[in-house]
Chain A
Amino acid sequence: MGQISERIEKILRRRAERLPEVRAELARWRSVAADVTWLLERDTTADDRLPALSAEVARTVDVLSAAESRFARDQVCVGVSGRARVGKSTLLQTVSGLTEQQIPTGPDVPVTAVRSRIVCSPRRRAVLGTHTVDSFLAEVVAPYHRELGIAEVPATLARFRGWDYPRPSAEAVDQHSSVGLHERLRRMRDSLDSYADLLTGRDVEVDVEHLRPYVAYPTNAEENAGTADRRYLAVREARIECPFPNEEVDRLTLVDLPGLGELAADAEQRHVADLRHGIDVVLLVTAASADSTYFGAADQRTLALLDVARGDVRGPKDFVRIVLNTGKEPERVAVLRDRILADVNAGVDGRYYEVLEADLKDRRDVDGSVLLPLLSDLAGTLGRMDDDVLAAALDRAASTAEQAAKVLAALEGGSRDLAHSADELLARGAKELRERVSFALRGLVSSLHARARDGGDDSDEYVDAVTDVFDGIRAWIEDGFGRGAEAWRSAALLEVGAEGNASPFTAEEMSRLRVEVSKRFGGLDTYFDALLRQTWRHVADAFADVLGPLVGEVEGEEALWSLKTRFDQASCPTLGGAVADLLATRLEYRTHLHPGVRAALDGFNLEGVDPVTGDPVTRLVVGVGREDVEVLEARLAELTEQAAYETMLALQRESVVPALVLHAAVEQFEDELIRSGRSKVEFARFARTHRDLLWPEESDRIEGARSRAARVDRLVESISGAVAGRRNP
Chain B
Amino acid sequence: MEPTRVLFEIGLLGPSRVGKTSLVSSLFRDGQRLLKTSGVTIRANDRATEVKMRQQARALDSLVQSRRFTPGALAANHTTVSFELLLDPGSAEDTAEETGIALRLLDFPGGWLDPANRSTAHEQAWSEVEGFIVRSSVLVVPVDATVLMEAVTAPQRGAVPLVLDTYDVGQVARRWARSRAERPDSPALVLFVPVKCESYFADNGGRHDRADELFDRFRSVYGDVLDAIAGEAEHTEMLYVPVDTLGCVERMSGRWVPDEDTHLRFEGRFLVRSRPVLSIHGVEDVLIALCKTLLAARKTAEEQHVLATAEDAHAARGLAERDRGLVGNFFRLVDELATDAYGQDRVLDFVDRRTSVLRGLGLRRFGEYTSEVRAADRLDGAHQRALERLRLLDAVVDDFSGRSYSSRVRSPLAARAH
Seen from chain A, the residues whose Cβ lies within 8 Å of a Cβ on chain B are 454-455, 459-460, 463, 470, 474, 603, 608, 611-612, 619-621, 635, 638-639, 641-642, 644-645, 649, 652-653, 655
A620 touches B274 (CB 8 A): yes
The answer to whether A645 and B203 touch (CB under 8 A), given A621-B274, A653-B152, is no
20 contacts between A and B (CB under 8 A): A454-B154, A459-B153, A459-B154, A470-B253, A474-B253, A603-B207, A603-B208, A611-B207, A611-B209, A639-B271, A642-B251, A642-B252, A642-B253, A644-B253, A645-B252, A645-B253, A645-B254, A652-B152, A653-B152, A655-B152
B150 at the interface (CB under 8 A from A): yes
- Nearest first, the 5 A-B pairs at minimum CB distance are A645-B253, A611-B202, A638-B271, A652-B152, A455-B154
The answer to whether A641 and B202 touch (CB under 8 A), given A463-B153, A649-B152, A653-B152, is no
The answer to whether A611 and B150 touch (CB under 8 A), given A642-B252, A644-B253, is no
A608 touches B207 (CB 8 A): yes
Known A-B contacts: A474-B253, A621-B274, A641-B253. Give 20 more (CB < 8 A).
A454-B154, A455-B153, A455-B154, A460-B153, A603-B208, A608-B207, A611-B202, A611-B206, A611-B207, A611-B208, A612-B202, A612-B203, A619-B274, A635-B274, A638-B252, A638-B271, A641-B252, A642-B252, A645-B254, A652-B153
For residue B150, which residue of chain A has the nearest CB?
Answer: A649
- Closest chain-A Cβ to B341's Cβ sits at a distance in Å of 76
Q: Which of B152, B269, B271 has the most CB of A within 10 A?
A: B152
- Closest chain-A Cβ to B67's Cβ sits at a distance in Å of 9
B150 touches A641 (CB 8 A): no
For residue A634, which residue of chain B has the nearest CB?
Answer: B67
A652 CA to B206 CA in the complex, in Å?
Answer: 22
A644 CA to B150 CA in the complex, in Å?
Answer: 14
Contacts of B269 in A (CB 8 A): 641
Q: Which of A611, A652, A653 has the most CB of B within 10 A?
A: A611
A649 CA to B252 CA in the complex, in Å?
Answer: 12
A653 CA to B150 CA in the complex, in Å?
Answer: 10
For residue B255, which residue of chain A has the nearest CB?
Answer: A467
Contacts of A638 in B (CB 8 A): 252, 271
Contacts of A645 in B (CB 8 A): 252-254
- Closest chain-B Cβ to A680's Cβ sits at a distance in Å of 40
A641 CA to B250 CA in the complex, in Å?
Answer: 12
Q: Which of A470, A645, A652 has the most CB of B within 10 A?
A: A645
A655 CA to B151 CA in the complex, in Å?
Answer: 13
Q: Which of A454, A638, A639, A653 has the most CB of B within 10 A?
A: A638
A454 CA to B274 CA in the complex, in Å?
Answer: 40
List residues of B (246-289) whose CB comes within 8 Å of A's CBs.
250-254, 269, 271, 274
Q: Which of B208, B251, B274 has the most CB of A within 10 A?
A: B274
- Closest chain-B Cβ to A622's Cβ sits at a distance in Å of 9
A454 CA to B155 CA in the complex, in Å?
Answer: 11
- Closest chain-B Cβ to A488's Cβ sits at a distance in Å of 19
A198 CA to B363 CA in the complex, in Å?
Answer: 186
Contacts of A635 in B (CB 8 A): 274
Contacts of A454 in B (CB 8 A): 154
List residues of B (205-260) whose CB comes within 8 Å of A's CBs.
206-209, 250-254
A653 CA to B271 CA in the complex, in Å?
Answer: 23
Contacts of B153 in A (CB 8 A): 455, 459-460, 463, 652, 655
- Closest chain-B Cβ to A173's Cβ sits at a distance in Å of 105
A460 CA to B202 CA in the complex, in Å?
Answer: 32
Contacts of A653 in B (CB 8 A): 152
List residues of B (179-222) whose CB comes within 8 Å of A's CBs.
202-203, 206-209
**In the complex, how many residues of chain B place their beta carbon closer than 8 angstroms to a beta carbon of chain A?**
19
Contacts of A649 in B (CB 8 A): 150, 152
A132 CA to B154 CA in the complex, in Å?
Answer: 87
Contacts of A642 in B (CB 8 A): 250-253, 271
A32 CA to B115 CA in the complex, in Å?
Answer: 98
Contacts of B154 in A (CB 8 A): 454-455, 459
Proximity bits, B146-168, A CB within 8 Å = 1, else 0? 00001011110000000000000
For residue A653, which residue of chain B has the nearest CB?
Answer: B152
A611 CA to B209 CA in the complex, in Å?
Answer: 8
A726 CA to B79 CA in the complex, in Å?
Answer: 122
A638 CA to B268 CA in the complex, in Å?
Answer: 13
Contacts of A460 in B (CB 8 A): 153, 155
- Closest chain-A Cβ to B335's Cβ sits at a distance in Å of 73
- Closest chain-A Cβ to B72's Cβ sits at a distance in Å of 19
A653 CA to B152 CA in the complex, in Å?
Answer: 6
- Closest chain-B Cβ to A608's Cβ sits at a distance in Å of 7
Contacts of B253 in A (CB 8 A): 470, 474, 641-642, 644-645
A612 CA to B207 CA in the complex, in Å?
Answer: 9
A154 CA to B269 CA in the complex, in Å?
Answer: 98
Contacts of A644 in B (CB 8 A): 253
- Closest chain-A Cβ to B159's Cβ sits at a distance in Å of 14
A635 CA to B250 CA in the complex, in Å?
Answer: 13
A577 CA to B323 CA in the complex, in Å?
Answer: 118
- Closest chain-B Cβ to A502's Cβ sits at a distance in Å of 13
Contacts of B150 in A (CB 8 A): 649
Q: Which of B153, B202, B274 has the most CB of A within 10 A?
A: B153
A608 CA to B254 CA in the complex, in Å?
Answer: 24
- Closest chain-B Cβ to A410's Cβ sits at a distance in Å of 71
A455 CA to B152 CA in the complex, in Å?
Answer: 12
- Closest chain-A Cβ to B69's Cβ sits at a distance in Å of 11
For residue A454, which residue of chain B has the nearest CB?
Answer: B154
For residue B155, which residue of chain A has the nearest CB?
Answer: A460
- Closest chain-A Cβ to B251's Cβ sits at a distance in Å of 8
Contacts of A639 in B (CB 8 A): 271
Contacts of B251 in A (CB 8 A): 642
Contacts of A603 in B (CB 8 A): 207-208
Contacts of A455 in B (CB 8 A): 153-154
Contacts of A620 in B (CB 8 A): 274
A608 CA to B274 CA in the complex, in Å?
Answer: 14
Q: Which of B207, B253, B254 has the most CB of A within 10 A?
A: B253
- Closest chain-B Cβ to A614's Cβ sits at a distance in Å of 11
A652 CA to B155 CA in the complex, in Å?
Answer: 12
A201 CA to B299 CA in the complex, in Å?
Answer: 138
A329 CA to B271 CA in the complex, in Å?
Answer: 146
Contacts of B207 in A (CB 8 A): 603, 608, 611
A603 CA to B250 CA in the complex, in Å?
Answer: 14
A644 CA to B208 CA in the complex, in Å?
Answer: 16
For residue A622, which residue of chain B has the nearest CB?
Answer: B274
Contacts of B209 in A (CB 8 A): 611
- Closest chain-A Cβ to B19's Cβ sits at a distance in Å of 21
A639 CA to B252 CA in the complex, in Å?
Answer: 7
- Closest chain-A Cβ to B217's Cβ sits at a distance in Å of 12
A645 CA to B209 CA in the complex, in Å?
Answer: 17
A455 CA to B157 CA in the complex, in Å?
Answer: 12
For residue A611, which residue of chain B has the nearest CB?
Answer: B202
Contacts of A459 in B (CB 8 A): 153-154
For residue B201, which residue of chain A has the nearest CB?
Answer: A611
For residue A639, which residue of chain B has the nearest CB?
Answer: B271
Contacts of B208 in A (CB 8 A): 603, 611
A644 CA to B269 CA in the complex, in Å?
Answer: 13
- Closest chain-A Cβ to B176's Cβ sits at a distance in Å of 35
For residue A600, which residue of chain B has the nearest CB?
Answer: B208
Contacts of A474 in B (CB 8 A): 253
Contacts of B271 in A (CB 8 A): 638-639, 642
- Closest chain-B Cβ to A454's Cβ sits at a distance in Å of 7
- Closest chain-A Cβ to B130's Cβ sits at a distance in Å of 38
For residue A654, which residue of chain B has the nearest CB?
Answer: B152
A460 CA to B152 CA in the complex, in Å?
Answer: 12
Q: Which of A460, A608, A644, A649 has the most CB of B within 10 A?
A: A649
A608 CA to B207 CA in the complex, in Å?
Answer: 9
- Closest chain-A Cβ to B264's Cβ sits at a distance in Å of 12
For residue A655, which residue of chain B has the nearest CB?
Answer: B153
Contacts of A470 in B (CB 8 A): 253
A603 CA to B155 CA in the complex, in Å?
Answer: 29
- Closest chain-A Cβ to B338's Cβ sits at a distance in Å of 75
Q: Which of A474, A612, A620, A621 has the most CB of B within 10 A?
A: A612
